[in-house]
A and B are shown apart, each in its own frame.
Chain A
Amino acid sequence: MSSITPADVQVGTAGDGPGEPRRPGRVSLGGLSLNLRASGIYIAFALIVLLFSVLTDGALLQPQNISNIIVQNSYVLILAIGMILIIIAGHIDLSVGSVVAVTGALAAVLMVNMGVAWPLALAITVVAGGLIGAWQGFWVAYFGIPAFIVTLAGMLLFRALTLTVLGNQGIGPFPDAVRTLANGFTDGYLGNVGLGPLGGADLFSLLVGLIAVAGMVAAQWRTRKARAGYGQEVDPIALFAVKMAAGAALILFLVVQLARFKNLPWVLVLLAILVLAYSLMANRTVFGRRVYAIGGNLQAAVMSGVKVKQVVFWIFVNMGVLSAVAGIIFAGRLNQAGPTAGNSFELDAIAAAFIGGAAVQGGVGKVVGAITGGLIMAVINNGMSLIGSPSERVMLVKGAVLLAAVAFDVWTKRRAGAGR
């Protein structure tokens, strides 16, 4: 890009220069300033965790409970990753619960009834998920039917297909490998190590945790240095240190607790890889940028040469693939593919995305935000059941949290007056 010549277009510097930065929605916190709208979700998550830790006398953060929260909610979190992309692009997918069911059923039929080797069966299932996504993406992107309608139809179609395949009964049990992936833990490859008053913990898990922390700090540091090198604004070093310390503390706490229980759940490893990969995809790739551009202003994206139909098609294919992954994990965890699998998962995934800061009009949202949104609901679920709240009250609270999160988003946007 050496021949771009904006410098040749030198314009007389009439008028005032760039003014002082104005940042609506920022609060000053002991010298560190925070963007409320961007970080509100993480603060809310921290407060909710704190609240339930107190209410449950610390039971929420016990090793086994943390492990449970992750394993029990992994499939919704995986779905939320796909859903946030769809919502950023300004669409919606109501069919994911049914796709979870039909892909789980397919995997069961392949492995249990037909005796296909599990790696091949899983590969076929994931491809089938992609084809389902392609089917829906075709109608949405190329035929121009609103995603709400296409996926509402998909919700019925794929549920019907599930019932047909399963003949209205569960199929199981699954091979051990699949069950381990869904429900199991890493082996204690390196044995245990004593952690003083905390008791024994799995050394391998701890090492993975330390490597993760080191990787995070190194990557963030490199980005920071590169940005500074290009003269970009970076956080002050104190804020950077605080952020890194907080991140490190979070990872280490999680890993230590898990290592004290049963090592790392395999789904956590999978989830971490997916979150990392999709975050990079959303922020750093041309494809990711296109998704934001389409959701932000469809017409402007078209007029900027974005192949809108293609992008929309592929995000639905992607949703299908992730639904198949979630379907395998869900069935593996129950050790059975059932006709009611995945019921109302779509609602959880959509709620996770919106609680996590996605905008109803599209164009806004983050993968990490959707995961945090999903975790907020998971903690509320788990915490309230620990203190013995009836399920109707849990539902009530989750509904209120969803409404409050979106209301907060609308309110901050209106206050910032983003010229819409």
Chain B
Amino acid sequence: MDDHILRMSGITKTFPGVKALQDVTLSVRRGEIHAICGENGAGKSTLMKVLSGVYPHGTYEGEIRFDGEVCRFGGIRDSERAGIVIIHQELALSPQLSIAENIFLGNERATRGFIDWNRTNYEAGELMRRVGLRENPVTSISDIGVGKQQLVEIAKALSKEVKLLILDEPTAALNDEDSAHLLDLLRGLRDEGITCVIISHKLNEVTAIADSVTIIRDGRTIETLDLAGDDVTEDRIISGMVGRALDNRFPPHEPTIGDEVLRVEDWTVHSPSQPGRKVVDGASLTLRRGEIVGLAGLMGAGRTELAMSVFGRAYGVGISGRIFKDGRPIEIRTVQDAIRHGIAYATEDRKRYGLNLIEDIKRNISAAGLAGLSRRGWVDEHEEYRVAREFHKSMNIKAPGVSSVVGKLSGGNQQKVVLSKWILTEPDVLILDEPTRGIDVGAKYEIYTIINSLADQGKAVLVISSELPELLGLCDRVYTLAEGRITGEVPRREATQERLMYLMTKGQE
């Protein structure tokens, strides 16, 4: 019998305009814990979606062999029947149902269409014992913490007679104690013969628990390292994750850096959904005129949360800290305050927070700066049109006219509309959250050019990005964020991907 339970070979997955995976191979030995590491957007989650049938057979190229057989999953039910269960980062539990009901959701213990509650709760109790979850099976999910919810997901997987368990960032939302328990549980499952694939950014966990690790970068498999034998260090993994040369994907730029314009001090933000959890923890940063500053951090590090909480407390509860504009302390309580103080925030999620997709380009551009285009509450529509036309031309927005509906534009052009909207508010500080996410290479270059010219006009730009090369190619200075704390501040000449990645993965001691 093949000692590999899973062999994926030649996997290529293309989305319109983007090659997400290119000739990826992944081999997982029976009964091991196999980690997959890579930067945000490297293609880890896409690969797991291919494996679990979320992207059904036929939408990708390549071959999946599981347990010795070639698999053609048409959907997630097929892969589950084969014994592959994926637990996503966002838990898929129904909060109002009980633990037992969730464990058997879609897989109910029933006779002739009627639920057998005794059997449901009894078997749930057995599974909960296996994962070390000491709760009453009839407790509802909303009454237990995230760590225990994670265990419910695993119990649910076990109920499906799982052979290969995939966990996507299982400890991202857990505290240290829950994380430790989860890792112990995974070791226990391995001893029972269940193979695990774990996607994680926390390299100390990876080296602690995994038997081997596959590194993916830019949609390709880079290497698979055996962690059992040779002494693979975190640094070794990092160099695999980032090892790529910078090329001239960035327009040249000579910064003219002026005075400090915005300073945030000791900024702390608590999670609105998990009371008591600090999402941003005592962060301080400074932005100067004409300067492009990067904010690096892995998924869940608190980058967007930091930005949105500064932008008029659009995120978070229990916010504390001080903000200074041009050296003077200011109070920002609402988004209107932030805009009035010359701060703009272009969201990472254009479709959800950035645009009114059913409206046209000109009304989207004017959405935040309408006050400047109106007199006594009446909009000057001609002026609005004129301004929109200017942006249409200067930003090179590819659309027939400014009356084109924004929902039909490509990602790059939508992003230009978002940027236009914020430039119209005449900000001193622009916070750009993942400004090139989902944008093709050519449009990225245009966005970089726009960012450079904004800095040349004396504005301070804070760029949040998951792509380290982007931060290195664009920014004059980079802050690193890990678990809500600023872990480093690196000037351009000292910045390397390895150094940033080291600071980004530096957890709490």
A residues 1-41 near B (Cβ < 8 Å) are 1, 3-22
Task: Say yes or no: B396 contacts A6, CB within 8 Å.
Answer: no
Chain B, Cβ-Cβ closest to A16? B398
Task: Say yes or no: A11 contacts B449, CB within 8 Å.
Answer: yes
Known contacts A11-B394, A16-B398, A226-B382, A304 near B368 by CB under 8 Å? yes
Binds B, one of A78-86, A245-253, A280-288: A280-288
Chain B, Cβ-Cβ closest to A229? B382
Task: Say yes or no: B453 contacts A286, CB within 8 Å.
Answer: no
Q: Which of A14, A19, A420 contacts B357, CB < 8 Å?
A: A420
Q: Which of A6, A297, A302, A306 contacts B391, CB < 8 Å?
A: A6
The interface centre, meaning the residue of A12, A16, A232 with most chain B CB atoms within 10 A of its CB, is A232
Task: Say yes or no: B339 contacts A305, CB within 8 Å.
Answer: yes
Q: Which of A15, A227, A292 contacts B359, CB < 8 Å?
A: A292
Scan A56-69; emit 1 where CB is below 8 A from any B CB, else 0. Answer: 00000000000000
Task: Say yes or no: B370 contacts A286, CB within 8 Å.
Answer: yes
B400 at the interface (CB under 8 A from A): yes
By a CB distance below 8 angstroms, the chain A residues around B445 are 12, 14
Task: Say yes or no: A15 contacts B398, CB within 8 Å.
Answer: yes
Alpha-carbon separation in the docked complex, A296 to B345 (Å): 20
Task: Say yes or no: B401 contacts A11, CB within 8 Å.
Answer: no
- Could you tell me the distance in whole angstroms from the C-beta of A287 to the nearest C-beta in chain B? 6
Q: Which of A16, A17, A304 contacts B335, CB < 8 Å?
A: A304
By a CB distance below 8 angstroms, the chain B residues around A19 are 398, 400
- Could you tell me the distance in whole angstroms from the C-beta of A65 to the nearest C-beta in chain B? 39
Binds A, one of B87-95, B254-262, B348-356: B348-356
Alpha-carbon separation in the docked complex, A227 to B380 (Å): 11
By a CB distance below 8 angstroms, the chain B residues around A420 are 357-358, 407
- Could you tell me the distance in whole angstroms from the C-beta of A95 to the nearest C-beta in chain B? 28
Chain B, Cβ-Cβ closest to A1? B372
Q: Count chain A residues whose beta carbon lies closer than 8 angstroms to a beta carbon of B.
A: 53
B59 at the interface (CB under 8 A from A): no
Chain A, Cβ-Cβ closest to B421? A304
Scan A272-308; emit 1 where CB is below 8 A from any B CB, else 0. Answer: 0000000000001111010011001101111111110
By a CB distance below 8 angstroms, the chain B residues around A289 are 363, 366-367, 370, 379
A residues 225-255 near B (Cβ < 8 Å) are 226-227, 229-233
A364 at the interface (CB under 8 A from B): yes
Known contacts A8-B457, A284-B379, A302 near B358 by CB under 8 Å? no
A388 at the interface (CB under 8 A from B): no
By a CB distance below 8 angstroms, the chain B residues around A293 are 356, 359, 363, 367
Task: Say yes or no: B359 contacts A363, CB within 8 Å.
Answer: yes
B446 at the interface (CB under 8 A from A): yes
Known contacts A14-B442, A300-B354, A418-B357, A1 near B367 by CB under 8 Å? no
Task: Say yes or no: B394 contacts A419, CB within 8 Å.
Answer: no
Alpha-carbon separation in the docked complex, A304 to B343 (Å): 11
A417 at the interface (CB under 8 A from B): yes
By a CB distance below 8 angstroms, the chain B residues around A12 are 396, 445-446, 449
Q: Which of B368, B382, B383, B401 contacts A227, CB < 8 Å?
A: B382
B residues 412-437 near A (Cβ < 8 Å) are 420-421, 423-424, 426
Task: Say yes or no: B382 contacts A18, CB within 8 Å.
Answer: no
Q: Which of B335, B373, B426 contacts A303, CB < 8 Å?
A: B335
- Could you tell me the distance in whole angstroms from the C-beta of A222 to the nearest C-beta in chain B? 11
Task: Say yes or no: A287 contacts B442, CB within 8 Å.
Answer: no
Alpha-carbon separation in the docked complex, A22 to B405 (Å): 11
Task: Say yes or no: B370 contacts A297, CB within 8 Å.
Answer: no
By a CB distance below 8 angstroms, the chain A residues around B424 are 4, 6
Chain B, Cβ-Cβ closest to A299? B353
By a CB distance below 8 angstroms, the chain A residues around B359 are 292-293, 296, 363
Q: Which of A9, A13, A17 contacts B454, CB < 8 Å?
A: A9
Task: Say yes or no: A233 contacts B453, CB within 8 Å.
Answer: no
B374 at the interface (CB under 8 A from A): yes
Task: Say yes or no: A18 contacts B453, CB within 8 Å.
Answer: no
Alpha-carbon separation in the docked complex, A32 to B399 (Å): 23
Alpha-carbon separation in the docked complex, A302 to B354 (Å): 10
Alpha-carbon separation in the docked complex, A233 to B390 (Å): 15
- Could you tell me the distance in whole angstroms from the C-beta of B336 to the nearest C-beta in chain A? 5
B244 at the interface (CB under 8 A from A): no
B4 at the interface (CB under 8 A from A): no
B residues 324-350 near A (Cβ < 8 Å) are 334-336, 338-339, 345, 347
Task: Say yes or no: A3 contacts B400, CB within 8 Å.
Answer: no
By a CB distance below 8 angstroms, the chain B residues around A11 are 394-396, 446, 449-450
Scan A389-420; emit 1 where CB is below 8 A from any B CB, else 0. Answer: 00000000000000000000000000001111
Task: Say yes or no: A363 contacts B374, CB within 8 Å.
Answer: no
Alpha-carbon separation in the docked complex, A229 to B405 (Å): 23
Task: Say yes or no: B398 contacts A419, CB within 8 Å.
Answer: no
By a CB distance below 8 angstroms, the chain B residues around A226 are 382
Task: Say yes or no: B407 contacts A419, CB within 8 Å.
Answer: yes
By a CB distance below 8 angstroms, the chain B residues around A3 are 426
By a CB distance below 8 angstroms, the chain B residues around A13 are 396
Alpha-carbon separation in the docked complex, A296 to B312 (Å): 22
B144 at the interface (CB under 8 A from A): no
Alpha-carbon separation in the docked complex, A389 to B407 (Å): 45
Alpha-carbon separation in the docked complex, A14 to B420 (Å): 18
- Could you tell me the distance in whole angstroms from the C-beta of B451 to the nearest C-beta in chain A? 10
- Could you tell me the distance in whole angstroms from the C-beta of B358 to the nearest C-beta in chain A? 5
- Could you tell me the distance in whole angstroms from the C-beta of B4 to the nearest C-beta in chain A? 43
Known contacts A4-B424, A301-B356, A364-B358, A9 near B394 by CB under 8 Å? yes
Task: Say yes or no: A286 contacts B377, CB within 8 Å.
Answer: yes
Task: Say yes or no: B357 contacts A297, CB within 8 Å.
Answer: yes
- Could you tell me the distance in whole angstroms from the C-beta of A8 to the nearest C-beta in chain B? 6
Chain A, Cβ-Cβ closest to B340? A305
By a CB distance below 8 angstroms, the chain A residues around B399 are 18
Known contacts A305-B336, A417-B408, A1 near B314 by CB under 8 Å? no
By a CB distance below 8 angstroms, the chain B residues around A296 are 356-359
By a CB distance below 8 angstroms, the chain B residues around A306 are 367
By a CB distance below 8 angstroms, the chain B residues around A227 are 382, 385
- Could you tell me the distance in whole angstroms from the C-beta of B282 to the nearest C-beta in chain A? 25
By a CB distance below 8 angstroms, the chain B residues around A302 are 314, 335, 353
B239 at the interface (CB under 8 A from A): no
Q: Which of A22, A229, A232, A300 contacts B367, CB < 8 Å?
A: A300
B residues 197-243 near A (Cβ < 8 Å) are none
Task: Say yes or no: B389 contacts A303, CB within 8 Å.
Answer: no
Alpha-carbon separation in the docked complex, A287 to B370 (Å): 10
Known contacts A6-B390, A7-B390, A8-B453, A300 near B353 by CB under 8 Å? yes
The interface centre, meaning the residue of A4, A286, A305 with most chain B CB atoms within 10 A of its CB, is A305
- The 12 sampled A-B contact pairs (Cβ below 8 Å) are A9-B453, A11-B394, A229-B382, A285-B379, A286-B378, A302-B335, A302-B353, A303-B353, A303-B354, A304-B368, A305-B335, A417-B408
Q: Identify the 4 closest CB pairs spanning chains A and B, nearest first.
A: A419-B407, A296-B356, A21-B400, A304-B368
7 additional A-B residue pairs with CB within 8 Å, beyond A9-B423, A305-B335? A4-B387, A6-B391, A9-B395, A10-B394, A285-B374, A285-B379, A299-B353
